[in-house]
Structure 1
Amino acid sequence: MANEDLTFLPPGVSREDFASALRAFRAIVGEDFAFADIDRLAPYSKVMLPEPSARHRPAGAVAPENVEQVQAVVKVAERYGIPLWTISTGKNLGYGDAAPATPGQVVLDLKRMNRIVEVDETLGYALVEPGVTYMQLKQYLEANNIPLWISFPSSGPLAGPMGNTLDRGVGYNRYGQHFENFCGLEVVLADGSLLRTGMGGVENSREWNVYRWGYGPWLDGIFSQSNYGVVTKIGIWLMRKPQKSFGFLCGWDDDEGMGRGIDAVRELHLNKVVENGVLGHTMYAVAQTYRRDEIYTGPGAMPRARVKEVCNNMGLGIWGYISTLYGTEEQIEVNLNIARKAMLATGGQFMDESQPEIFKTPFHHWNLNMTNEPTLTEFTIYNYKGGGGSSWLAPVVRCEGSEAIKQFNLMHGVLDEYGFDYIGGFLIGGRHAEQLTDILYDRNDAEETERARQCYLAMIAALHGAGYGIYRTSTSFMAEVADTYGPAQRRINHRLKQALDPKGILAPGKSGITI
């Protein structure tokens, strides 16, 4: 094929074996869907990470159309020792995109497998393939007048439920903890055999996507953030469209107010008054609105006094919590009164949908996300610095105000040291919160890119030293984050890999797991 490059090979694979594997892949998926052309591989090589793209260069790509083709491709890969890096939609922005963790892997692109297999309106679930996007599922539900809503992350119009759920991503409605709201996997193992987890193992079961556990050990978890199999179907639980939804916002102008807000929100969550929410730093909204050089041109990270001034100039405090209530008019009235009272007790500034100014705030797009309207508004943050550099960091913290402030100050301190602004906030899970933070930098600037890399490594070390774990990271730092979870977890992950994929062909390096 034109521009085919068989000089860049998978590790330990000869040119002859790679050529034979490509021919075998083409016989399975068709001539157009297995290739090593330099030009066609470009989308699989692009990264936003703080290191050269060459460290993530694939050797080829193969795109099967159905599970039978996936099984056949995996068998060929096992025969020739070809490493396969699996992607669904490949829109894992800021975490690695579609590129493999290590160079020389063949991207197993599942985007052609985009069937919505089943939607059950009565029990509120969908069974989907890897290539199904959130927008595709939303449009299907609307076209068929099915009154169900989906939960999606900030990349909702582009990404899909399988990839985000298996990476334990987070969304915004009452089903926003995505890994808590899936049920049943179909998995191709490294030897090409097929596994259906839980009730899926029972022939003709109608309970596969409604009861998670089945019988015996629950296996689904080992296929999350791992490289033990290729997931080809997933059951997703969907939210019933409520009779009504109603959003509110509360803001604070200091970190202590944010801490009081965290404590209030925790109690509202645990008592099921609210079921979702984002407590974001207003700099995240500033980054969606301005280029950095429009608001600060000095050296290093933006001083906190200037941060406060910029946030206040937008008519906001430095922190804002937004949530949406669901239910009947009577339910919402009761819960809104409870939430308003709790929020005002923190000293925060409260507003709700009865006040038009809430729709003018940069936080409003989260209300859209909470009411089944995907947007890409958040990704205007990539205009803040320019240059396409983004590395997300996602530590977990107890949902306690004092702990949230402590972790925020720790992370802010590292960012200050390396000259980067704090762009982030907390996604509230009830007993825990995830402090999602994006290090933004110019990848065209070699010095800044390397500084961003060192900043990320320093952040891992600082969080680990303080006893905080990172729950999700990019393909650049998987091994470093895995090390923070201790040798016992590394050993058991290694033993599972040896048992399920003894030749190590599935996504080498994923989550720091190797053979």
Structure 2
Amino acid sequence: MIMLDPARLEQALTRFEAIVGAQYVWREEEARHGYKDAMAPRDPMSYAPRGAVAPTSVEEVQAIVRVAGELGVALWPTSRGKNFGYGGAAPHLSDVVMLDLVRMNRILEVNVEMGYAVVEPGVGFDDLYNHLVDNNIPLWMSAPAHTWGSVLGNALERGVGYTPYGEHASKVCGLEIVTGTGELLRTGMGALDGAKTWQLFPYGFGPSWDAALMQSNFGVATKMGLWLMPEPEHTLNLAMAFDRPEDLPLGVEALRPLKLDGTVQANPSFGNIIRNLAVRAPRSEYYQGEGPIPADVLEQARLKSGVGHWNFSIRLFGDKAVNTINAEKVKRAFAHLPYEFDVSEWHRGEPLKGSGSPTPTLGALGVVDWLGGPGGHLTFSPVSPFTGAEAWEQYTTIRAMYEEAGFDYYGGFTAGQRYLNHISMIVFNRNDEETMARANRLFSDLIDVAAARGWGEYRTHTLYYDQIARSYDYNNGALRRWNETVKDAVDPHGILAPGKMGIWPRRYREAQA
């Protein structure tokens, strides 16, 4: 592995100070503690960075990248660093300088007529939400479970929310990118100087690069166009709880036709009982023993808390008359199950709470307190076909591995249009070295078992980029070689996020060899 020369690092940091000001450059210990993984499954200092720089404009980003290329100092871009469970702000390796874009936090445009926003990397979901609400803008954003992360960063990592616009990556329309040589480009229609449709038509002319720049290290995104949803007249929510774990396949099969034909446009999530219990109280409130919580204890906790083994809701957005018709269709699809929907409605003009519009919250982070102590978690995120049989096989396989390793299974299946995102979390106490060691062994085993069964992960923790990249092994890793070819062409100095998603620049590959 390439080691960063201390003298060259100091030279780079000094030159960065001339670009952004000394107060926005951090060295060694300050940077290492400031950008370490807050929920690290290993020693967080082992992959903490060597320095950091925080620009406030695209011109400063360009200047920093040019200096880094000249000196061979690797940069690791981050927007807000709240990607917990996947590494947070921490880089893949320690010999880098963080390129912290949090000061680039301007909402550059919100177009009400066309329904889009243009944001910089430091804009959080809470920022965009407050901007829309405070200015009475009749547009809704989508957001993940907790809302302090970056709108741009989440979309480029293919994060998911729970409105009809919940597949965030699919709503990106136009990126501004600083390349590995410090050049500035715009994707799609933005490549036409003076284009009127940069945030309207997502493809442009020739190859389409928005998707290729997601989960990549091919450039630094400094602006992003994102489509927003017009505020609906009405939303109607149908919530259901399953008393038995084995009801999961029935629910999946009932939902799939409704997603395929567009009756349900949002992304319902089947969450298991522990996902529900963990945000209510720590594990010790339900069970004080060792190992996974026994089935009979879980059943008692379920009955006492009034929740299901699986809990989900289907929210319909749009005109009230249409929602009413579609709600009856949903009820018919689930009529063969021995449960009733709990129905609630929201009408435009009422307070947004309960509407389905994602209001700022950190409530989902309560899961990290499940075991007590300073908590942490690893998020395992394989994708499965949208069938009950596949969901059941994936659930039973992964749950068995969790329990064999001594962990409670915390998970759920979020419904895309033709796939399921199976999001599960290995929760641990960061003061317990033995538990963290088991968590890492389990995570590595999960990757291998899932890949052997044809279940690829769509996203992962910083530490596991290489293992998952290797699991995408068709034709002896042809896709990895393609990615490396592109990387070498667009980042000839090999300085942008080396190793991200398992994509290493040539100079690192040669050093490893």
What interval of TM-score do these two structures reach, taking the shorter chain for normalisation?
Answer: over 0.9
- Could you give the per-residue CA deviations for residues 102-150 of structure 1, whole angstroms, max 9, x where no partner exists? 1121110000101111111011000110001111111111222210000
Residue in 2 that maps onto 1:337: 328
Residue in 1 that maps onto 2:189: 199
| Partner-residue secondary structure (3-state), 1:476 | helix
The answer as to 2:42 corresponding to 1:51 is: yes
Structure 1 residue 430 displacement after superposition: 2.0
Structure 2 Cα separation of the partners of residues 426 and 348 of structure 1:
19
| Partner-residue secondary structure (3-state), 2:278 | helix
Structure 1 Cα separation of the partners of residues 312 and 334 of structure 2:
10
Residue in 2 that maps onto 1:415: 402
Structure 1 Cα separation of the partners of residues 387 and 99 of structure 2:
42
Residue in 2 that maps onto 1:437: 424
| Partner-residue secondary structure (3-state), 1:248 | strand
State the one-letter code of the partner of 1:374: P
For the 8 Å contact 2:155–2:168, the answer to whether it is kept is yes
Residue in 1 that maps onto 2:375: 388
Residue in 1 that maps onto 2:27: 36
Structure 2 Cα separation of the partners of residues 422 and 252 of structure 1:
17
| Partner-residue secondary structure (3-state), 1:142 | helix
The answer as to 2:149 corresponding to 1:159 is: yes
The answer as to 2:290 corresponding to 1:296 is: no
The answer as to 2:436 corresponding to 1:449 is: yes
The size of the alignment, in residue pairs, is 495
Structure 1 residue 41 displacement after superposition: 4.0
The answer as to 2:504 corresponding to 1:514 is: yes
Q: Which blocks of at least 5 consecutive residues in structure 1 are unaligned?
A: 1-9, 356-365
- Could you give the per-residue CA deviations for residues 337-386 of structure 1, whole angstroms, max 9, x where no partner exists? 1112222323333211179xxxxxxxxxx985832323221111111113
For the 8 Å contact 1:172–1:369, the answer to whether it is kept is no
Residue in 2 that maps onto 1:474: 461
- Farther-moved stretch of structure 1 (12-21 vs 90-99): 12-21
For the 8 Å contact 1:61–1:109, the answer to whether it is kept is yes
Residue in 2 that maps onto 1:358: none
For the 8 Å contact 2:32–2:45, the answer to whether it is kept is no
For the 8 Å contact 1:117–1:126, the answer to whether it is kept is yes
Alpha-carbon spacing, 1:443–1:368, altered in 2? closer, same or farther (3 Å): farther
Structure 1 residue 483 displacement after superposition: 0.8
Task: Give the TM-score of the pair, scaled to structure 1.
Answer: 0.93
2:173 maps to which of 174, 178, 183: 183
- Could you give the per-residue CA deviations for residues 132-184 of structure 1, whole angstroms, max 9, x where no partner exists? 1111111111222210000011121x112100000001011110011111101
Structure 1 residue 415 displacement after superposition: 0.3
For the 8 Å contact 2:4–2:95, the answer to whether it is kept is no
Structure 1 Cα separation of the partners of residues 457 and 337 of structure 2:
29
The answer as to 2:367 corresponding to 1:377 is: no
State the one-letter code of the partner of 1:480: Q
Alpha-carbon spacing, 1:510–1:60, altered in 2? closer, same or farther (3 Å): same
Residue in 2 that maps onto 1:231: 221
For the 8 Å contact 2:235–2:356, the answer to whether it is kept is no
| Partner-residue secondary structure (3-state), 1:370 | coil
For the 8 Å contact 2:31–2:49, the answer to whether it is kept is no
| Partner-residue secondary structure (3-state), 1:344 | coil
State the one-letter code of the partner of 1:378: A
Residue in 1 that maps onto 2:388: 401
For the 8 Å contact 2:234–2:345, the answer to whether it is kept is no
The answer as to 2:141 corresponding to 1:141 is: no
Structure 1 Cα separation of the partners of residues 179 and 51 of structure 2:
21
Residue in 2 that maps onto 1:5: none
- RMSD, matched Cα: 1.7
Structure 1 residue 407 displacement after superposition: 0.4
The answer as to 2:245 corresponding to 1:258 is: no
Residue in 2 that maps onto 1:86: 77
For the 8 Å contact 2:3–2:95, the answer to whether it is kept is no
Alpha-carbon spacing, 1:332–1:369, altered in 2? closer, same or farther (3 Å): closer
The answer as to 2:259 corresponding to 1:269 is: yes
State the one-letter code of the partner of 1:314: S
- Farther-moved stretch of structure 1 (276-285 vs 118-127): 276-285
For the 8 Å contact 1:283–1:311, the answer to whether it is kept is no
Structure 1 Cα separation of the partners of residues 36 and 283 of structure 2:
28
Identity of aligned residues (%): 38
- Could you give the per-residue CA deviations for residues 75-106 of structure 1, whole angstroms, max 9, x where no partner exists? 01111111111101111111111111111211
Structure 2 Cα separation of the partners of residues 114 and 500 of structure 1:
26
Residue in 2 that maps onto 1:461: 448
State the one-letter code of the partner of 2:366: T
Structure 2 Cα separation of the partners of residues 429 and 367 of structure 1:
24
Structure 1 residue 44 displacement after superposition: 0.5
For the 8 Å contact 2:118–2:226, the answer to whether it is kept is yes
Task: Give the TM-score of the pair, scaled to structure 2.
Answer: 0.94
Structure 2 Cα separation of the partners of residues 374 and 264 of structure 1:
31
For the 8 Å contact 1:183–1:234, the answer to whether it is kept is yes
